Amino acid sequence: MDLTARIDSGTATVGVIGLGYVGLTEAVELARAGLHVTGFELDTARVRSVQAGRSYLVDISDREVAEVVEAGRLLATTDSSRLGGMDAILICVPTPLSKTKAPDLSYILSAVEAIRGHLRRGQLVVLESTTYPGTTSEVVLATLESTGLRAGTDFHLCFSPERINPGDPSHPPRSIPRIVGGITPACARVAAHLYRRVSPEVVVVSSTEAAEMVKLLENTFRAVNIGLVNELLLMCDRLGVDVWEIIDAAATKPFGFMKFTPGPGLGGHCIPIDPLYLSWKLKTLNYNARFIEMADEINAAMPRYWVQRVQDKLNEAARPVRGSRILVLGVAYKKDVGDLRESPALDILAQLAEKGAAVSYHDPYVSAFQYEGMEMVAVADLNRALDEADCVVVATDHSAYDWEAIRARARLLVDTRRAIPALQPAAV
């Protein structure tokens, strides 16, 4: 029985390397679709959690994990030797940047090396981790073919970008189309067959490079437009006009405009990082991606802008930053998740602490964290912290907060997200 037939019959085994936001979500979705899934993860705490039927992600409930674990369709392990028993292997590992903003492929390389040691004929390998065009065909392919097996003949190799949006219940993974690019058309057909089990539509593009570029376009589009509205905020500040009024009014146009909003900067595992993968790749081809680099410069400077706003607010109240009690609400990079990766709120806290402020934070999803030498624990009593703070900074607009009550309690308020709407003028 070939792989497509095993997928159809539900007997195919799928390995997912990396059980973070992407990997665990993929594993649960595939298991719910009736396939037998093994999650490969180095973090033993995550493995124990999955094996016990518990979720560590906001978007996946304990019930959803327990349901597929108890049905025998999902298990987790640290044992990479089990990769040889998988019919399909999905690589869902992090792809961070180095300190010089160059791609760090160490997690991908480690995963591919593990697969290489157990690669066999008929297997499907799919890279889902976001990376620069050419990674699959140049890096992954060379490593796997060093076994003597050939892609498209002995095994299948593809790239399919993940499209998971943490904290977004309106777009669950099973509702999102998938993009697939294969080393050969036959490779793409097999991967597309797998993803049709969990996706309403699969779009096959001409190559792995094309599929890699699709993901980078999606996130570069967002990074550049967020950079544009962040610069608009800076311009409106100089002009003395309300940027939110401008954006809201422009958004009434039913065509030719898409609403983006300013904030404390970029965060998360995609938007602050992925466009720089593309920028780095193009530098090797003697091309300067000017839009990407300008947007990165603007977005990276936003935490310092908001720190200056805090300083200005305190100055108006005749208070120095040094010694002032400043409470930051929300340290996650976006609302209703506990993900701290690249969160600009952490930079805001660090910069205020450097200026001598007595900083504290509250976040319903983050109980404690370490960042650049700071070790912080969330305040236990939010109301008391609001009453004692000289200034409150809204860095993440979690839905759990009572924003009107926060406005009423805060002495000074700096809202980077416009979580608290401006007081509306009287109706005319």
Q: Which residues are catalytic?
A: 270
Residue 77: strand, helix, or coil: strand
Neighbours of 142 (CB within 10 A): 10
DSSP 163: -
E strands, 41-134, are 74-77, 88-91, 124-127
Taking the alpha carbons at both ends of the chain, their separation in whole angstroms is 73
Residue 271: closest CA among 242, 295, 237, 236: 295
How far apart CA 227 and CA 415 sit, in angstroms, is 18
How far apart CA 175 and CA 130 sit, in angstroms, is 20
| Cβ(314)–Cβ(412) below 8 Å | yes
| Cβ(204)–Cβ(192) below 8 Å | yes
How far apart CA 16 and CA 4 sit, in angstroms, is 18
Number of separate helices (H) and strands (E) present in the chain: 14, 14
Residues with Cβ within 8 Å of residue 418, at least 6 apart in sequence: 244, 261, 397
